[in-house]
Chain A
Amino acid sequence: MTTLRSWLGRYGALVRTAWLVDIQYRAAIGLWLIWGVLEPLITLGIWWTIAGDGPVQGYERADFARYFFAVIVVNQVTIAWDAYYIDSWIRGGEMNHRLARPIGPIHEAIADNLAYKIRAVAVVTLVWGLVAIAWPAVRIPFEPGRWVLAALATLLAAAIRFLNGYATGLLAFWTTRATALVSLQYGVSMFLSGRIAPLSLLPPAVVSVSSVLWFPWMLAFPVELLTGTITSGRTIANGFAMQIVWTLAWAGLYMLVWRRGIRHYAAVGG
């Protein structure tokens, strides 16, 4: 009990610090936000034009609008940039004094993520709400039960993407191209996570390959849960099961890479 309380205290302090640091860089954060919003909007623009000639495999213009607005929000919760920091820390030597701190670097990273995401989601949801007043296409059906499920799925998606990014970033202990691997995965996720189109518009073979990987569970699943595309209880249960499997898998990989990496790093440092 006391350990739980002390951990809560630690996280409280870390999140507060991260929050205050973010305030100093609010303009820069705003620009990252613009980037995160514009990319899906551009894709939406194209689909909007295509669907002007009639629905695309059941997707009307409004369905695309809802889908990509949900992508924007879920993306803000799941976005993971830690790999780029880890890479520069390891290469620049800043990792040394981070390791000397009494609390592991991953806890600080989690706190940074919490601080950023709470703010970004608040902003994006607020904007979405305002847009929805003027533009009925992007309104989400009012089903609080579904919203709760979608929120849960989004949290798990964030965990997968965070652990995936963190573990990949730690490869910087061995190679100078760890961030390239992160970008590579991002490129693949354009398709397999449903960034470029809802997965059902991709060739069936691609969809079946993606469903055994971690990609769709990082974005497409929570998005479609939120927009109401997924309705069957079995699909929902299967989705959550896959999310849990991949969260555990990436957590395991993180621990493996971290332990080995630290040993490797110490060996190099002397």
Chain B
Amino acid sequence: MMRVLRALWRASVAEELQYRANFVASLLGTVFWTGTAILTVAVFFGQTDDLGGWTVWEVVALLGIYTALGGLVEAVIRPGLGSLVSDVRSGGLDLVLARPVEAQIYVSFRRIDIWRFADVVLGLGLTTFALVRLGRAPGIVEAGAFLLALIAAAAVVYAIWVVLMSTAFWFVAVENLAVVFDALYEAARYPVAAYPGALRLLFVYLIPIAWTTTIPAGTLTGRFPPVVALGAIVIACIALFLSRLFWLTALRHYTSAGG
């Protein structure tokens, strides 16, 4: 499987390298949107000293993680999983299913957009800058906890995508399913503590968007004890497991419809 993926990625990279102007455009876009996000935070902090107890640089550190994770989505998840809807509609998915590879992995990771990895670098850079402004150098334990929480966050985001895109097997006519993710991910821009109680419960338990940015940022700035990262890993495993079940159920539905 790894060999197949490596070959696919090499092809993607070769293709993208032809469009170098896209790199500049995508970088400028990210800089612009991150700039508006920071200004938005500035507007909020013009009227208050804290968002749900988080100070301005803590929120900016979170914003960097939001940008980095968003970049990962654009680089790895959207190019492959994002076109599942049109694959189901056009029948192109049959060609995938007929191949002797694991379908979920193939569909998810068949394409990458290398330019968007720049967003990951940019986001982590912003987080580092915010840490400097906070005057905090995370220790080895905190850094490790952050890394674990970040991996868990990526897994949660991936699980949300799998569940969302699997619904394509039922709703073939919905070309823009990914918009739902964009709308939900919008909520990850701010720490969960900044939302009213009911929304907070929703983001922690039902749609686990809280685990994508709030937890990594919190472990990095020392707001949460490092052990929270282990909790994040458990949540990520549960999310991956449930999304896998959902995918398999959806796929069974597809074969029965197609045959």
Binding site for B on A (CB under 8 A): 24-25, 27-28, 31-32, 34-35, 38-39, 42, 45-50, 53, 56-57, 177, 180, 183-184, 187, 190-191, 196-197, 201-203
**Distance from A16 Cβ to chain B, minimum over Cβ atoms (Å):** 21
B25 & A180 in contact (Cβ 8 Å cutoff): yes
Q: Chain A interface: which of B99-107, B183-191, B219-227?
A: B183-191
From the candidates A35, A57, A183, A190, name the one contacting B183 in the complex (CB within 8 A): A35
| B201: interface (CB < 8 Å) | no
In the assembly, what is the distance between CA of A46 and CA of B54, in Å? 12
Q: Using a Cβ cutoff of 8 Å, how many contacts connect chains A and B?
A: 81
Question: What are some 10 contacts across the A-B interface (CB < 8 A)?
Answer: A25-B175, A28-B175, A46-B195, A49-B52, A49-B195, A49-B196, A56-B48, A187-B36, A191-B40, A201-B43
In the assembly, what is the distance between CA of A39 and CA of B51, in Å? 18
Q: Which of A28, A49, A53 has the most CB of B within 10 A?
A: A49
From the candidates A27, A31, A45, A53, name the one contacting B196 in the complex (CB within 8 A): A45
In the assembly, what is the distance between CA of A196 and CA of B44, in Å? 9
A32 & B176 in contact (Cβ 8 Å cutoff): yes
Give the interface size bracket for B toward A: 20 to 34
**Distance from B67 Cβ to chain A, minimum over Cβ atoms (Å):** 14
Secondary structure of the A side of the interface? helix
In the assembly, what is the distance between CA of A240 and CA of B40, in Å? 28
Contacts of B171 in A (CB 8 A): 27
Query: Sorted from nearest, which 4 A-B pairs have the closest CB atoms?
Result: A38-B183, A35-B183, A45-B195, A50-B48
From the candidates B25, B46, B177, B187, name the one contacting A42 in the complex (CB within 8 A): B187
Sample of 9 further A-B pairs with CB below 8 A, known A35-B179, A46-B194: A28-B176, A32-B176, A34-B183, A42-B186, A50-B48, A57-B47, A183-B29, A187-B36, A201-B46
Contacts of A25 in B (CB 8 A): 173, 175
Given contacts A38-B184, A187-B33, contact A49 B194 (CB under 8 A): yes
Contacts of B177 in A (CB 8 A): 31
| B32: interface (CB < 8 Å) | yes
B179 & A34 in contact (Cβ 8 Å cutoff): yes
Contacts of A28 in B (CB 8 A): 173-176
B174 & A38 in contact (Cβ 8 Å cutoff): no
A31 & B51 in contact (Cβ 8 Å cutoff): no
B173 & A27 in contact (Cβ 8 Å cutoff): yes
Contacts of B196 in A (CB 8 A): 45, 48-49
Contacts of B32 in A (CB 8 A): 184, 187
Secondary structure of the B side of the interface? helix
Contacts of A177 in B (CB 8 A): 25
**Distance from B62 Cβ to chain A, minimum over Cβ atoms (Å):** 13
B173 & A31 in contact (Cβ 8 Å cutoff): no
A39 & B186 in contact (Cβ 8 Å cutoff): yes
In the assembly, what is the distance between CA of A202 and CA of B184, in Å? 26
In the assembly, what is the distance between CA of A45 and CA of B180, in Å? 18
Contacts of A27 in B (CB 8 A): 171, 173-174
From the candidates A39, A53, A184, A191, name the one contacting B43 in the complex (CB within 8 A): A191
**Smallest Cβ-Cβ distance to A26: which chain B residue:** B173
Contacts of B25 in A (CB 8 A): 177, 180
In the assembly, what is the distance between CA of A24 and CA of B32, in Å? 36
In the assembly, what is the distance between CA of A190 and CA of B47, in Å? 17
| B141: interface (CB < 8 Å) | no
Given contacts A28-B176, A31-B180, A42-B187, contact A49 B40 (CB under 8 A): no
In the assembly, what is the distance between CA of A106 and CA of B39, in Å? 36
In the assembly, what is the distance between CA of A31 and CA of B46, in Å? 33
Contacts of A32 in B (CB 8 A): 176, 179
Contacts of B29 in A (CB 8 A): 180, 183
**Distance from B200 Cβ to chain A, minimum over Cβ atoms (Å):** 9
**Smallest Cβ-Cβ distance to B45: which chain A residue:** A50
